[in-house]
Structure 1
Amino acid sequence: MADVLITHSYHLGYDPKQLRKMQPYAPIGTLYAASALREMGISVAVFDSMLEEPSAAFVAMLDAEQPKIVAVYEDDFNFLSKMCLTRMREVAWEMAGVAHNRRILTVVHGSDSTDNPGLFLENGFDYVLCGEAEETLTQLCAAVLKGDAIPIPMLDGLVRRDETGQPVRSGNHLAKNPEWSQLSVPARDLIDLEPYRKAWMDAHGYFSTNMVSSRGCPYRCNWCAKPISGNKFHLRAAAAVAEEMAVLKRAGAQHIWFGDDVFALNHHWVEEFAEEVTRRDAAVPFKVQSRADLMTKDTVQHLKAAGCAEVWMGVESGSQSVLNAMDKGLSLPAVVVARRRLKEAGIRACFFLQFGYPGEGRNEIQETIEFVRENRPDDIGISFSYPLPGTAFYEKVRTQLGKKRNWSHSDDLCIMFKAAYTTDFYRAVRNALHAEVDSWSQVPTSSATTARVYELWKTVNELEPECRDLEALEGFDELTLSSPALVQIESFVPTPGGIA
C-alpha cells in the first residue's frame, strides 16, 4: 500500500493516430515526480495509463493501494501532454471523480491544468500545481500526510478553493525547480516496462525507450506554449545522462528517444556527452529534437559519435516571411546546411512543419512544398497552427476563437481561427506531402505509389479554390490567387531504381 498514487491521463488507445504508429513511451515527467516523492520518504505507487485501460484498471489499483492522495501528474516531456487534448482532460476528471467518491484528496499538474486551474478545480480536483512542480508536490503531500493546514502563500504554484469556493493561488503563480537536474533518475521500477517492450517489438522489431537530458527551451517562437518552464532551460550533467543511457542499454534498450524540447543547445556539453558515452560503451541509436542552426559541423560529428541516428528539426515553413512572423529566429539557408551536414554524417534529418499560421497564403504554402522537395528530408511531421494560452499567437487570434479551443486527440488538427484555408484543405496538403516524402524511401518508387501521390496532389489543387477563407486572404496578391494550380504535380519526381 502507498500513501500517494501518482498517474497521468494519456491513454494510447484513445488516440487513433498514435495507436496506428504504436510508439509508446513511459511517462518520464510522471516518474520524475514519483522519484521526488520517494526521495522525501513518501511511499508512492504509479498507475501508468499509457497502455493500461484507465477506468477499471485505475479503480483496481485504488483498491489495492488505498492511497490518501491521488496525483494526476502529466508527463511534461511528452508533446502529447503539451497539446492539452480534451480526451486527456476527460480522463483526468474521471480519475478525480473516482478518487473523490472514496474521499481521497486529489492533485493535478500539467500544461492544461496550469492554463485552466479553475476548470480543473470545478471538475473534481482539490489542488492544481502550476509550473515546475516536483518540489511543490512533495511539500504538499508531506503536509497533507502530517495533517497540517496547507499554508498557500508558502507553496509556489499552488491553486485551491477558498472557504467561499473561489479559486485562490499563491503569490508565485508558477513553481520553479532549479534543482530538477539534480533529481534522481525517473522511477522506472514503479511501472512495468514489459508491455512497452512487447508493443515495440511486435510493431517495429526493436525496443525503444525514452529519457531526457534537459528541461525547457530558451527560444521565443511566438506560437509555442511553455506554461511549465517558460523560457528557462535546465541541463543535466553529461556524465549523468551518459550513465542513464548505459543503464538503459544494459536493460535491453535498442533505441532511445530524447524527449528534450531542444537537444544540443550547448555545443561543449554535446562534446562532453559524446566522450562520456564512449567511455561507458553506452552508445545506442537515438533520436532528438533540435534546431537547424545548432547543427554545427563539430556538433554533428559529436552527435554521430554518441550514437545519434535521427534529428528532428523545427523547420515549420519554407517561407522566410512566415518564419519571421513566428519569431522563429531561423534562416532557411541554415536548414539547408544542417540537412547536408546530417546527411554527410549518416544521420537522418527530419523536418517538423506547420501550416496555417497567419500571413501564410498560397505563395507561402508553395514555397514550403518546394523547399521540402529541394531538400528531401528523410521524414516530416506536419501539424497546423494551434493557438494555446500564454502565446503571442493566441492573443493575436483570440477574438476569432469559438467554443472549441482544444484538439480532442493528436490527429484532430482542426483550424480554430481564421486561417487562409479551411481544415479540409490543410489536411489534403498534409496527406499529399506525407505521401510524397514517404515515397522517396521506395527504391524504385512503384507505379501504384506514384499514382497515389499524383491523385493526392490533384485533390489539393481541386480543394484550393473551394477552401479559401476570403476574409483571411484579403490583401494577398489577387493575381497569385487566380493561378490555375497550387502545386505543379509534374514537379513530383519519383525515386528511380538504385537512387536513394
Structure 2
Amino acid sequence: MKLLLVYPPLTRALPSILPGEVEAGRGCFPPLGILYLAAAVKGLPGIELSAIDAPTQELTAEQIADRVLRERIDVVGITILSFHLLDAIELAQKIKQKSPQTLIVAGGPHPHIYPVETLGLGMFDFAALGEGEEIFPAFLSGLARGEQEPVVPGIISRSKRADADLTFSNLPDLDRLPFPERTLLPVEKYFSVLSPLRPSTTAISSRGCPYRCIFCDRPHLGKKFRARSASNVVAEMEACAALGIREIIFYDDNFTTSRERALEIAELILERRLKVAWDIRARVGDLKPLDYHLLRRAGLQRIHFGVESGDPELLESLQKKITIAQAREAFQAANKAGIETLAYFMLGLPGENLDTLNRTLALGRELKPDYIHFSLLMLFPATPVYALALEKGIVQRDLWREFAKNPQPDFQPPIWEEKLGREELVSALHRAYREFYLRPGYIFSRLARTRSWAGFKTQTRMGWSMLGLKK
C-alpha cells in the first residue's frame, strides 16, 4: 500500500491576524504532525511511505495530484487547519479528479472540530479526530486486510458521518511514540527568522495544557498535561543534532508547566555535553530567577512569553492566571541570564479601549524584550472566547461552522469588535509594531548585539519588514 502524507500548499489561506510584512518573515518550519504519523506507520508491513511539505518544497496542488496518479498512491493523508481549508479542498479535488480510487483522509485541528462538516464537503473519504499516532496505523491495517471502511474509534467515514461516534482519546504515554521522521522532508530548508543558526527544526516535549485561557485553540490535544520524560526529550535532541540541525524550537503550549522536568532536561544536556541551541515557549511565574542561568548554560537561546495585555483587568478576564509583576520578574531574570526574549501581546481583547491599548504598548516597551509579537485576538472556533462572543452578540451567527459547511474565499475570520472596530484595531496593530521596532535605541541595541554576518542579515530583514508597515 502506497501512502502519501501532505501538508498542503498555502495559496488560498484566509487573511492572517498579522500584518503581511510580519507574516512573510516568520521563517519556515517542518510540519510535525505528518512527521509523527510517518514515524508511527513506518514499521507497518507493506507500507510504502512518502511525505510532502508543499509550501517548503514549492509544489502546487496540480503537481501533487499528478504525483498521486503517476505513483498510484492508495491513501493520501492531508493535515488541515481552518485557515488552510480552501487549499486542502483544492488539493483533494484535484487528486479525486485524476485518481478517483485514491482514499483521502483529513486530519488536524479543523476536521477534529468539524468532522461532519468536513466530510460533507464531498472530497474527503475519512476524517480523523484527536491524535493520530495509534488510530491511523490501525486504520491502515484494516485497509490492508481488505476492509472498505475500517472501524477504528476516532476515524469517521463519509458514508457514516450522520451517526458517527465523535468521541476520541489522547495518548497517555508520549515516551512510547517514535521521534518524528524528519528525514522524509528536506531538513536543510527549515529555519527561524529569529536565529542565525541553520538548519533548525521544531519539537514538542509535551501535549495538553492544564490552564484555561479563554483564547486557546488546540482542542485536539486536550487539557490534560502529558509530558515526555527528560531523557526521552534529550534523546530526540541528540537525534536532531546528528542530522546536522543546529537549533530546536519547542512548540509546547508551555515548556515549563513542570519546572522540575525543564531543569532536568537542562541538566541532562549539560551531562551529555550536547551542543545544540534550543528555544521554548514558557509561562511567566513558572521559573525561579536562578533557573534561567542553568537553562542558558544548557544552550537555551530564547524564551517566548505570553504576556497578552498590559491592563490587569483585561489580563484577568483572559483567565491566564498570571500577573504583570510576574512578567516583569521573568523578563528581568531571562535578560540577566543572557537569554533572548520574545513577548506575545494580543490587541482587541474583550473590554479593550484606547487606554488599555496604550497600557499594553507601554508594558511591551518596559519589559525590554528582544522581540515582540503583537496580534489581534482571533475568535478561533471551539474556544471559550468565541462562545462568549456568540453569547453576547459580538458575533451574530456561528460564522466558523458556516465556513466549515460552505467555505468561501472571501471569509473574514471574526475578531472582538465591541468598543473598537476592525479598522481601529488593525491600525493599532500596525502602530504597535512601528513604535516598538523603529525606536532608534532598539535598532542600535540589536545591531550591537549581533555577533555574525548571518545575524546582521536577519536583523536587517526584520527591519525592512517593519518599515513596510502602513501607518
Range into which the TM-score falls when normalised by the shorter chain: 0.7 to 0.9
1:392-451, CA deviations, whole angstroms, 9 ceiling, x for partnerless residues? 21111124245854799xxx99654433212222222222222232234322799xxxxx
Q: Which residue of 2 aligns with 1:254?
A: 246
Q: How does 1:147-226 map to 2 (within 5 A)?
A: 147-148=146-147, 150=149, 152=151, 155-162=152-159, 166-170=161-165, 173-196=167-190, 206-226=198-218
Alpha-carbon shift at residue 178 of structure 1 (Å): 1.8
Residue 352 of structure 2 is matched in structure 1 by 360
Q: Label 1:132 to 1:373 Cα distance change in 2 as closer, same or farther (>3 A).
A: same
Query: Are 2:41 and 1:44 equivalent residues in the alignment?
Result: no
Tell me the alpha carbon deviations over residues 438-480 of structure 1, each in whole angstroms, 9 at most, x when there is no partner.
Answer: 234322799xxxxxx99x99x6xxxxxxxxxxxxxxxxxxxxx
- Structure 1, 62-71 or 188-197: larger mean CA deviation: 188-197
Q: Say whether residues 1:29 and 2:33 are aligned partners.
A: yes
How far the C-alpha of 1:185 sits from its partner, in A, is 0.7
Please state how far the C-alpha of 1:373 moved relative to its aligned partner: 2.4
Change (3 A) 1:374 1:192: closer
Q: Deviations over 1:84-113 (max 9, x none)?
A: 20xx11121122223333111111111111
Q: Deviations over 1:113-156 (max 9, x none)?
A: 1111122112211111111222111111111121125464xx22
Label 1:305 to 1:247 Cα distance change in 2 as closer, same or farther (>3 A).
Answer: same
Q: 1:206 to 1:413 in 2, by over 3 A?
A: farther
Structure 1 residue aligned with 2:86: 90
**Aligned: 1:61 with 2:67:** yes
- Do the aligned residues in 1 keep the contact of 2:307 with 2:343 (CA within 8 Å)? yes
Q: Does the 8 A contact of 1:12 with 1:24 survive in 2?
A: no
Matching residue within 245, 253, 272 for 2:264: 272
Contact 2:120-2:158 at 8 Å conserved across structures: no
- The 8 Å contact of residues 259 and 287 in structure 2, kept in 1 or not, is answered as no
Greater alpha carbon shift after TM alignment, 224-233 vs 416-425 = 416-425
The range that moved more, 224-233 or 295-304, is 295-304
User: Residue 383 and residue 414 in structure 1: after superposition, are their counterparts in 2 closer, same or farther (change >3 A)?
Assistant: farther
Tell me, in whole angstroms, the C-alpha distance in 2 between the residues paired with 1:33 and 1:151: 18
SS state at 1:283 partner: coil
Matched, 1:70 2:76: yes
SS of equivalent to 2:4: strand
Cα pair 2:124 2:158 within 8 Å, conserved: no
Query: SS of the counterpart of 2:442?
Result: coil
Which amino acid letter does the alignment assign opposite residue 157 of structure 1? Answer: G
Change (3 A) 1:44 1:374: same
Name the amino acid aligned to 2:41. L
Deviation at 1:325, TM superposition (A): 0.8
Q: Residues of 2 paired with 1:320 and 1:98: CA distance? A: 50
> Is the 8 Å Cα contact of residues 214 and 318 (structure 2) preserved in structure 1?
yes
Q: Report the Cα distance in structure 2 between the residues aligned to 1:216 and 1:362, rounded to whole angstroms.
A: 34
Q: Distance in 1 between matches of 2:174 and 2:418?
A: 39
SS at match of 2:240: helix
Deviation by residue 1:30-73 (Cα, 9 ceiling, x = unmatched): 10011111133333211221313231331243134322111113
The answer to whether the 8 Å contact 1:218/1:233 transfers is: yes
Partner residue, 1:114: 112
Contact 1:209/1:253, CA 8 A, preserved across alignment: yes
Tell me how far 1:222 sits from its aligned partner.
Answer: 1.2
Residue 422 of structure 1 aligns with which residue?
A: 421
CA contact (8 A) 2:250 2:280 kept: yes
Is 413-422 or 349-358 further displaced after alignment? 413-422
1:480 corresponds to: none
- Measure the CA separation in 2 of the matches of 1:340 and 1:12: 41
Q: What's the CA shift for 1:354?
A: 0.7
Alignment partner, residue 455 of structure 2: none
Aligned pair in 2 of structure 1 residues 168, 208: CA closer, same or farther (>3 Å)? same
The amino acid that maps onto 2:388 is K
In the superposition, relative to structure 1, how do residues 65 and 91 fare at CA in structure 2: closer, same or farther (>3 Å)? Answer: same
Establish whether residue 99 from structure 1 lines up as the match of residue 95 from structure 2.
Answer: yes
**Matched letter for residue 219 of structure 1:** Y
Higher RCO, 1 or 2 (CA under 8 Å, sep at least 6)? 2
Amino acid in structure 2 at the alignment position of 1:91: D
- Whole-angstrom CA distance in 1 between matches of 2:302 and 2:135: 36
Q: CA deviation at 1:175?
A: 3.4
User: CA shift at 1:328, angstroms?
Assistant: 0.9
Q: For residue 37 of structure 1, what is the amino acid of its counterpart? A: V
Q: What code does the residue aligned with 1:300 have?
A: Y
Task: Name the amino acid aligned to 2:42.
Answer: R
- 1:345 corresponds to which of 309, 331, 337: 337
Q: Go from structure 1 to structure 2 and tell me whether the alpha carbon gap of 1:181 and 1:424 turns closer, same or farther (over 3 Å shift).
A: farther
Residues 12, 342 of structure 1: alpha-carbon distance in 2 compared, 3 angstrom cutoff: farther
Amino acid at match of 2:143: V
Aligned to 1:442: 443
Q: Give distance in 1, aligned partners of 2:326 and 2:339.
A: 17
Structure 1: which 5+ residue stretches go unaligned? Answer: 75-80, 447-452, 460-500
State the percentage of identical aligned residues: 23
Question: What count of residue pairs does the alignment treat as equivalent?
Answer: 433
Q: Over alpha carbons, which structure has the higher Rg?
A: 1
Separation in 2 of the partners of 1:3 and 1:104? 10
Between the aligned partners of 1:12 and 1:257, the Cα distance in structure 2 is 25
The normalised TM-score by structure 2 is 0.83
Uncovered stretches (5+) of structure 2, i.e. residues with no partner: 448-465
In structure 2, which of residues 219, 228, 241 is the aligned counterpart of residue 227 of structure 1?
A: 219
Alpha carbon RMSD of aligned pairs, Å?
Answer: 3.2
Instruction: Map Cα deviations across residues 287-337 of structure 1 (whole Å, 9 max, x no partner).
Output: 211111113224322321221111111111011101111111111100010
Normalised TM-score (structure 1): 0.78
Flag the 1:266–1:246 CA change in 2: closer, same or farther, 3 A: same
Q: Secondary structure at the match of 2:42?
A: helix
